[in-house]
Chains A and B, each alone.
Chain A
Amino acid sequence: DTGVSQDPRHKITKRGQNVTFRCDPISEHNRLYWYRQTLGQGPEFLTYFQNEAQLEKSRLLSDRFSAERPKGSFSTLEIQRTEQGDSAMYLCASTIQGPDTQYFGPGTRLTVL
């Protein structure tokens, strides 16, 4: 395992459709984070998990967004009824509990038409 992986890398969808992204963290990293990055901006925090527990959610995470990490390993981020404003890069990062830093995946680029 060489790093955080995300799938798909690119997703194009029509407004109103549902989409789901997957993140596989580095093995044994028990903390997993989701960020959103719009064009020309830095990543912004959405939510994070310690093991399977979702510990914090940003105000950016509207009711149309839901994230899960059912077994404390991979995580999914679902967006329901997508809007054009949801177009962004969705980044996943993982870290191990204790003094450490977050390592990012390559991201999923979402385009809503």
Chain B
Amino acid sequence: GQQLNQSPQSMFIQEGEDVSMNCTSSSIFNTWLWYKQDPGEGPVLLIALYKAGELTSNGRLTAQFGITRKDSFLNISASIPSDVGIYFCAGQTNFGNEKLTFGTGTRLTIIP
């Protein structure tokens, strides 16, 4: 099945550093979502974006819906140990009620 292109594939950072990751698609989405997944668990919603150009924050997390509607990015500021995990972007073609198309994931590791 289709998967969105997510980069980087993995990141190794020190605690306190800022993190940036992005997601691109060949097709347009009306909604972009960012999820975090811990090992053996389901994805947990972090941020939802509904409008092209929208910039939304959730604590130390900031995400933007690209103007072209084909991309999105997620920033994490001042990383802490609990930020470790896999981050997935996901797109929806209809508002709120269609299947999600996920990215390939970015694995975040914090080096002690």
Contacts and interface: CB of A to CB of B under 8 A. Distances in A.
Interface in A56-113: 56, 58-60, 91, 93, 95, 97-107, 109
Nearest to B31: A101
Nearest to B35: A104
B96 A42 contact: no
Interface stretch (B11-19, B42-50, B53-61, B62-70): B42-50
B3 A104 contact: no
Given A99-B50, A104-B42, A107-B41, A41 B105 contact: yes
B101 interface: yes
B33 interface: yes
Contacts of A21: none
A95 B94 CA distance: 13
A31 B98 CA distance: 9
A58 B102 CA distance: 14
Most buried by A among B31, B43, B50: B43
Nearest to B33: A101
Most buried by B among A44, A48, A101: A101
30 contacts: A31-B97, A33-B99, A33-B100, A35-B100, A41-B3, A41-B104, A42-B4, A42-B88, A42-B104, A43-B43, A44-B102, A45-B1, A45-B99, A45-B100, A58-B1, A59-B1, A60-B1, A91-B42, A93-B42, A95-B96, A99-B95, A100-B97, A101-B31, A101-B45, A101-B48, A102-B45, A103-B45, A104-B43, A106-B41, A107-B40
